[in-house]
Amino acid sequence: MNTKYSEEQGDGSFMKHLILASGSPRRRELMSQVGLDFTVVTSDADENIKEMEPEDYVRELSSVKAQSVLEQYADNEDSVIVIGADTIVYHKGEILTKPEDEEDAFRILKSLEGEIHQVYTGVTICSAHKNVSFYEKTDVWVYDMTDEEIREYINTGEPMDKAGAYGIQGKFAAYIKGIEGDYNNVVGLPVARLVHELKVF
């Protein structure tokens, strides 16, 4: 089923259009999977924000992205609902985003192997008259990995566009010992929570 959002106007009703403010193919797949009908408009917002607690960091960045795209519809903002999202990996007090290069990816994965870490995704849903931000946290355990295994994984190219330098839904699944929390949150979007929150729009 395709889910749309409608709102009554004085002269009848119109459909509110969902916009995903993210170029992530994984977020697109998750939203399509649950039947959401949407358009992708990537945000050009400055993602350099000050260091803060991980839950505040992802909510703030998701809000910046969503608001940036909403502003593009200033003349027609009553007709759109914008969804922004940001995902990070958090380990031993360090916020881990996408690796800068292969050596950075190695450093990140070396710190995660054999350890537990947290994945935070912040989501902001905004329209002309309502704004909701939330986050989800998932604990992830990673098996021990040799340096050779880490290098082989990096050579696949998979880590380079992902927070924490791995994709749980890809080849790195071989090294996931377990999780506690929402699996889709680790992929990049807690889509069930998103659908629930959209009900108030």
Provide the Cα torsion 134, 173, 96, 195; round to 10°: -10
Residue 86 falls in the annotated catalytic set: yes
User: What value, to the nearest 5°, has the Cα angle with vertex 19 and ends 69 and 192?
Assistant: 120
Rg (CA), the chain: 18
Q: Which of 11, 37, 75, 86 is catalytic?
A: 86
Q: Are 108 and 165 in contact (CB under 8 A)?
A: yes
Distance CA 135, CA 165 (A): 20
Q: Which residues pair with 9 in a beta bridge?
A: 12
Catalytic positions are 86
